[in-house]
Structure 1
Amino acid sequence: MNAEIRHVHPDRGALATACAQELLAVAGRAVAERGRADLVLTGGSTGIAVVAALPECPAVGDIDFSRVHFWFGDERWVPTAHEDRNDQQAMDAGLAELMRLTARTPRALRAPNVHRFPARSDSADLDTAARQAATALTPTPAFDVVLLGMGPDAHVASLFPGHPGLDAAGMPVVAVRQSPKPPSERLSLTLEAIGAADQVWFTVAGADKADAVASVVAAREAGRRDPALPASLVDGRRRTVWWLDEAAAG
Structure 2
Amino acid sequence: MTHDRRVLVHDDKAALIESVATRFLTKMADILHEQGHAHVVLTGGSVGTGVLEAINASPDRDSVNWSKIDVWWGDERWVPRGHADRNEGQARAALLDHIDIPAGNVHAFPASDEGLDIDAAADRYAAELKSMAAPESTVPQFDVTFLGVGPDGHIASLFPHMQGIRENDLTVIAVLNSPKPPPERLSLTRWVINSSERIWLVVSGPDKASALGLALAGASRDEVPVAGIRGRHYTDFFVDGEAAAEVPENLIEQPQ
TM-score (norm 2): 0.89
Per-residue deviation, 1:147: 0.6
User: Greater helix percent: which structure?
Assistant: 1
Partner of 2:125: 133
* SS of 2:60 mapped into structure 1: helix
Is 1:228 the equivalent of 2:223? Answer: yes
The 5-angstrom pairing of residues 67-216 of structure 1 reads 67-97=68-98, 99=99, 108-138=100-130, 139-216=138-215
Per-residue deviation, 1:142: 0.4
CA–CA separation in structure 1 for the residues paired with 2:147 and 2:221 = 17
CA–CA separation in structure 1 for the residues paired with 2:42 and 2:221 = 24
Per-residue deviation, 1:5: 1.5
Partner of 2:251: none
Give identity over the alignment, percent: 41
Partner of 2:14: 13
Per-residue deviation, 1:25: 1.8
Partner of 1:36: 37
For 2:67, give the aligned amino acid: S
Partner of 1:241: 236
* SS of 1:3 mapped into structure 2: coil
* SS of 2:242 mapped into structure 1: helix
Per-residue deviation, 1:93: 1.7
CA–CA separation in structure 2 for the residues paired with 1:86 and 1:28 = 25
Per-residue deviation, 1:129: 0.3
| Cα pair 2:7 2:238 within 8 Å, conserved | yes
* SS of 1:78 mapped into structure 2: coil
| Cα pair 1:26 1:144 within 8 Å, conserved | no
For 2:113, give the aligned amino acid: S
Partner of 2:65: 64
Per-residue deviation, 1:123: 3.6
CA–CA separation in structure 2 for the residues paired with 1:5 and 1:12 = 18
Partner of 1:48: 49
Per-residue deviation, 1:191: 0.4
For 2:97, give the aligned amino acid: A
CA–CA separation in structure 2 for the residues paired with 1:64 and 1:70 = 13
**Which runs of structure 1 show a deviation greater than 6 angstroms over 4 or more consecutive aligned residues?**
none
Unaligned runs of 5+ in 1: 100-107
* SS of 2:243 mapped into structure 1: helix
For 1:152, give the aligned amino acid: P
TM-score (norm 1): 0.91
CA–CA separation in structure 2 for the residues paired with 1:21 and 1:3 = 23
Unaligned runs of 5+ in 2: 131-137, 246-256
CA–CA separation in structure 1 for the residues paired with 2:82 and 2:30 = 32
Per-residue deviation, 1:37: 1.1
Per-residue deviation, 1:170: 2.1
Question: How big is each residue's C-alpha offset from its partner over 1:48-70, in whole Å with a ceiling of 9 and x where there is no partner?
Answer: 11111111223223211100111
CA–CA separation in structure 1 for the residues paired with 2:145 and 2:78 = 21
| Cα pair 1:123 1:129 within 8 Å, conserved | no
| Cα pair 2:165 2:221 within 8 Å, conserved | no
